[in-house]
Amino acid sequence: MPSHHAIKIFILGRDGVLNVYREDHVKAPEEWKPIPGALEAVARLNHAGWHAVVATNQAGIGRGMIDMASINAVHAHMNRELLARGGRIDAVFFCPHAPEESCDCRKPLPGMMFEIGWRYGVELAQVPMVCDTLRDLQAASAAGCEPHLVLTGRAEALGEEGAAHLLAQVPAARVHADLPAFAEWLLRRDRVAESAPGALEA
C-alpha cells in the first residue's frame, strides 16, 4: 500500500468516461456534455483526498479539426462544470498527434502515464486508470497502472460477450458500470484499508 504521505491519484480518459463520446470529436465547449453522475463521482473522490488527472488522445488537433485555443476552451468549460459540483481535475495530459505521426504519447502507448507518474512522483502501480476502450486499458497495463473499465462511452455497446472478449486481453482489469460505480468501489477499498491496517486486500 502507498505510504500516508504519497499523493493519491487516479487517471481517467475524457471522452466516454467523463463526457459523452462524439465520433466527430468535441470541438467546442457546448459539445462537451457530461455523462450523468460522472462529475459528481470525481467530486466525491476529490473530497476523499484523491487527485484526478485526465489522459486523453486528441487526434483532432493533428488532423486540423480543432486548435489549441478550442481545446483550452473545452477544458476550461469542463473545469467550471466540475467546480459547480465541488470537484476538480488537477491536470489534463493530451496527445495532439494523429495516429500516423508515430509519437510515443498516443494511447495504447504508455508515454502520457509515464509523464504523469514522473510529474507527480507516484508509483504507477498505485494509480488506478479508468478507461472505456481496449486501447486505453492496454495503455494502463503497459504503464503498470491498475486498469479499470467503465461501461460508458465506447464500451456501452459492448454487451456481455464484447466486454468478456476485451477483458480477456487485459485480464487484470476490473469492470464498473460507470464512473460513480468506480468511485464507490475505490472509496470502499480505501475504507477497508483504513479499518484493517496491514491487512492485504483479498
Query: Which tens digits make up the pLDDT trace of 30-75?
Result: 999 999 999 999 999 999 999 999 999 887 788 888 888 999 999 9
The residue type of 142 is: A
* Each residue's pLDDT tens digit, 6-30: 799 999 999 999 999 998 889 999 9
What is the reported pLDDT for 2? 43
pTM: 0.91
Domain boundaries, the chain: 8-195
- Interatomic CA distance for residues 108 and 73, integer angstroms: 26
Average pLDDT, integer, range 165-181: 94
In the predicted structure, residue 5 carries a pLDDT above the cut 90? no
**Confidence band for 160, pLDDT divided at 50, 70 and 90:** confident
- Interatomic CA distance for residues 119 and 125, integer angstroms: 15
- The grid coordinates listed for 20 are 459523452
Residues in the chain: 202
Please indicate whether residue 200 or residue 31 has the higher confidence score (pLDDT).
Answer: 31
In the predicted structure, residue 202 carries a pLDDT above the cut 80? no
Fold that domain 8-195 belongs to in CATH: Rossmann fold (3.40.50)
- The grid coordinates listed for 85 are 459540483
- Interatomic CA distance for residues 39 and 17, integer angstroms: 10
What is the reported pLDDT for 148? 97
